[in-house]
């Protein structure tokens, strides 16, 4: 396989590339990334010299570049991680999210169609489904009801991906995951933000009453699921990927503080985010029954592994922190 991974210098993309190098060392992996604020070449430093790994600096909105990269490396498969992904940023700069997440995805699809790519996998999010009440789960048949500019841009991209399957016959899959956590996650996201703030004895901002519920998925389990979809996913199908570990944000923050031996007095409740979804929870029955995927990490194992990584890689996160994320 000659695989183009877009957005491979980000959190999930870089973990996926390391997964593929480990389990499919004979495949060629080409990483196309613009290296915006959350894209970090250090995320892949350990495999940067691998003979089957190549990095290309560029924008997924640049069709001419995509065309040249596909020809140069004889690309036959594409996985799209490239996206603006932070909800708070989408509220202040929605246009940027439309450009990258919608127009960028369409540009990738056009290149895939014209170059007869054999498989295109779109990495999406459970946020496209909107918000759940106190019970129930998102399935692949749940209507899309995004509530933020970020989730709306991802839902729009999903619909465009589907259209290239129905109209042009492109072999596509869409994956929708719950909240990821693990090594190399940028410190603006909840778990690494809480850990890095706590390690510096700074206040921990918690939106509203802290009772928003998320389903947590360890990033390596997510990568293994994408690997299965890439190799075995049925053409045109959507697969939900969930960690089956729901937790209130406030309870998660307190748990991390306990593990770090830090006081709960660091918690500072702040005004709630605009349009803040109350609960996400995924039903992953389809990928389990059709492709045989099962998460290998319990939440306890995953969070301990994540905390251990941030404790032993403080140079990594200290170099990328700034007042913007502290505030």
> Does 292 map to a domain?
no
> Does 282 map to a domain?
no
Give percent of the chain above pLDDT 70.
Answer: 98
> Does 289 map to a domain?
no
Which residue is associated with the tokens 């790994």? 53
Does residue 103 share a domain with residue 191? Answer: no
> Does 163 map to a domain?
yes
DSSP designation for 102:
I
Number of domains in the chain: 2
Over the stretch 37-72, which tens digit does the pLDDT of each residue have?
888 889 999 999 999 999 999 999 999 999 999 999
Question: Active-site residues: which are they?
Answer: 126-127, 150
Does residue 188 share a domain with residue 159? Answer: no
Does residue 111 share a domain with residue 38? Answer: yes
Does residue 306 surpass a pLDDT of 90? Answer: yes
Question: DSSP E strands: which ranges in 26-134?
Answer: 28-33, 53-57, 77-80, 119-125
DSSP-derived secondary structure for 150-191: HHHHHHHHHHHHHHHHHHH---EEEEEE-EEESTT--TTSHH
What's the CA gap between 279 and 317, in Å, rounded?
A: 29
Band (pLDDT 50/70/90 cuts) for residue 324 is: low
**Dihedral of CA 75/157/38/132: which sign?**
negative
Determine the structural domain holding residue 17 and report its residue range: 2-180+218-241
> Does 169 map to a domain?
yes
Does residue 50 share a domain with residue 159? Answer: yes
- Give Cα 198 to chain centroid, integer Å: 24
Band (pLDDT 50/70/90 cuts) for residue 121 is: very high
What's the CA gap between 59 and 69, in Å, rounded?
A: 12
Q: Average pLDDT, stretch 72-78?
A: 98
Does residue 209 share a domain with residue 322? Answer: yes
Does residue 327 surpass a pLDDT of 70? Answer: no
> Does 280 map to a domain?
no
Give the CATH number of the domain where residue 208 resides. 3.90.25.10
Does residue 185 share a domain with residue 124? Answer: no
Check: CB of residue 188 under 8 Å from CB of residue 10. no
Check residue 326 and give its pLDDT.
46
Does residue 103 share a domain with residue 188? Answer: no
Check residue 90 and give its pLDDT.
87
Does residue 175 share a domain with residue 195? Answer: no
> Does 283 map to a domain?
no
What's the CA gap between 176 and 280, in Å, rounded?
A: 12
Check: CB of residue 121 under 8 Å from CB of residue 172. yes
Kindly state the tokens that stand for 175.
């994956």
Give the CATH number of the domain where residue 129 resides. 3.40.50.720
Does residue 44 share a domain with residue 34? Answer: yes
Does residue 171 share a domain with residue 43? Answer: yes
Check residue 39 and give its pLDDT.
87
Over the stretch 184-232, which tens digit does the pLDDT of each residue have?
999 989 999 999 999 999 999 999 999 999 999 999 999 999 999 999 9
What's the CA gap between 123 and 175, in Å, rounded?
A: 5
């Amino acid at each position: 396989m000659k695989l183009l991974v877009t957005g491979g210098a980000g959190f999930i993309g870089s973990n996926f590339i390391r997964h593929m190098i480990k389990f499919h060392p004979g495949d060629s992996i080409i990483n196309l990334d613009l290296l915006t604020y959350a894209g970090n070449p250090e995320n892949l430093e350990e495999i940067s010299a691998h003979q089957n790994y190549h990095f290309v600096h560029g924008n997924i909105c640049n069709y001419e570049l995509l065309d040249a990269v596909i020809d140069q490396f004889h690309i036959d498969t594409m996985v799209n991680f490239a996206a603006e992904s932070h909800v708070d940023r989408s509220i202040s700069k929605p246009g940027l999210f439309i450009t990258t997440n919608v127009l960028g995805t369409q540009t990738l699809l056009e290149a895939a169609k014209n170059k007869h790519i054999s498989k295109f996998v779109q990495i999406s999010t459970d946020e496209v489904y909107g918000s759940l009440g106190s019970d129930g789960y998102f399935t692949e048949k749940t209507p899309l009801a995004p509530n933020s500019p970020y989730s709306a841009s991802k839902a729009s991209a999903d619909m465009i991906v589907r259209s290239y399957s129905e109209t042009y016959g492109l072999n596509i899959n869409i994956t929708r995951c719950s909240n990821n956590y693990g090594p190399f996650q940028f410190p603006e996201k909840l778990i690494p933000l809480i850990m890095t703030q706590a390690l510096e004895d700074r206040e921990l901002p918690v939106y509203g009453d802290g009772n928003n519920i998320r389903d947590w998925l360890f990033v390596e389990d997510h990568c293994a699921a994408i690997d299965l979809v890439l190799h075995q996913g049925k053409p045109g199908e959507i697969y939900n990927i969930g960690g089956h570990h729901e937790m209130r944000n406030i309870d998660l923050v307190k748990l991390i503080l306990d593990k770090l031996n830090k006081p709960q007095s660091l918690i500072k409740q702040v005004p709630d985010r605009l349009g803040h979804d109350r609960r996400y929870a995924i039903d992953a029955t389809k990928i389990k029954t059709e492709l045989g995927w099962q998460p290998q990490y319990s939440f306890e194992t995953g969070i301990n592994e994540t905390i251990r990584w941030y404790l032993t890689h403080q140079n990594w996160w200290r170099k990328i922190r700034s007042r913007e994320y502290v505030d």
